[in-house]
Amino acid sequence: MSHYYSKISGWGMYAPDRILTNDDLAQMVDTNDKWIRSRTGIRERHIVAEGEATVDQSLHAAQQALQRAGITAADLDLIILASSTPDYFCPPASSILEDRLGATKAGAMTLVAGCTGFLYGLITAAQFVQAGTYEHVLVVGAETLSYVVDWEDRNTCVLFGDGAGAVVVSRSQTPGGLQSMMLGSEGSGWDALIAPGIGSQPRKLWSVKITNCT
C-alpha cells in the first residue's frame, strides 16, 4: 500500500485596493494611530469595493494558487473555502467558487471556524491527500468583515479588514508536509465577538457606511 505525503504546490492572495488607515478610523470613532498600533500592531486594513464579496476575493487568490501550482481548475478534486462571511447562507460560497473557477469534477465545502478557519481547512485537505483519496485540494481563507463590523465600536472595528489567501495542497511521494497538528476550541467565550443578524438568532445588523477609505 502506497504512503502519500501532502505538499503546498501553489499559493495565492488577494487584498482589495481600498485602504482604511488608522488616521481614517480616528475620524470615525474615538481612537488614534498610536492607540491602535500599541495594542494591535495594525497600521491599515484593506476594504472591498462596493459590490465586491467573499467569492470575488476568493476567485483572485485561487487563480493565482492554481497558476503557481501548474494545474488547472479541472484538476481539482476538492475545494475548501473557510469563511465566516460567505456571500450567502445558502448556497455555499464554496459551490459558487467551484462554478466560477470551472472546477467541474471537484467537491466543495464551506468551513466556518472563525479566525482559525484556514488552519482547519489546511489540516482537512492534508488528511484527504495523505489518505490517498484526493490528489489536489484547493484551500481558501477569505473574509469580507467590513460588511458586518460595527464601525462605531472602537474596540473591534480597528481589528478587521477584508482579503483572501489560497493554497493548493497536492499529493507527493517525497516525505514532508504537515508533520503534526493539534486542534482545540474555547467555546465559553462565544459571546465576546458576534456578527448579529446572520443565522437563527437575529439581532441588529450594523451597516455604518465607510467613507474615509483612500
Domain annotation covers residue 158: yes
User: What does the alpha-carbon distance between residue 161 and residue 158 come to, in Å, rounded to a whole number?
Assistant: 9
Beta carbons within 10 angstroms of residue 194's beta carbon? 13
Provide the residue range defining the domain that includes 39: 5-173
> In this structure, is residue 205 part of a structural domain?
no
Site of grid cell 467541474: 104
Lowest mean pLDDT: which of 16-20, 32-36, 147-151, 205-209? 205-209
Q: How many domains does the chain have?
A: 1
Q: How far apart are CA 120 and CA 105, in angstroms?
A: 23
Mean pLDDT of 118-137: 96
* Lowest mean per-residue pLDDT among 10-19, 38-47, 56-65, 185-194: 185-194
Residue with cell 443578524: 197
Decide if pLDDT at 27 tops 60. Answer: yes
* 94 falls within a domain: yes
Residue 196 lies in a domain: no
181 closest CA partner among 4, 3, 6, 1: 6
Task: Identify whether the C-beta of residue 52 lies closer than 8 Å to the C-beta of residue 87.
Answer: no
Q: Is residue 10 part of a domain?
A: yes
Q: Considering the domain boundaries, does residue 101 fall inside one?
A: yes
Distance CA 57, CA 51 (A): 11
Q: Is residue 18 predicted with pLDDT exceeding 80?
A: yes
CATH number at residue 151: 3.40.47.10
- Residue 194 domain-assigned? no
199 part of a folded domain: no
Q: pLDDT tens across 167-206, in order? A: 999 999 998 888 888 888 888 888 877 766 667 776 555 5
Of 169, 104, 161, give the one whose Cα is nearest residue 140: 169
- Residue type for position 134: Y
Range in 11-15, 89-93, 106-110 with the lowest mean pLDDT: 89-93
**When comparing pLDDT for 148 and 7, which is higher?**
7
Q: How many CB atoms lie within 10 A of CB 149?
A: 22
Q: How far apart are CA 11 and CA 17, in angstroms?
A: 20
User: Considering the entire predicted model, what is its pTM?
Assistant: 0.90
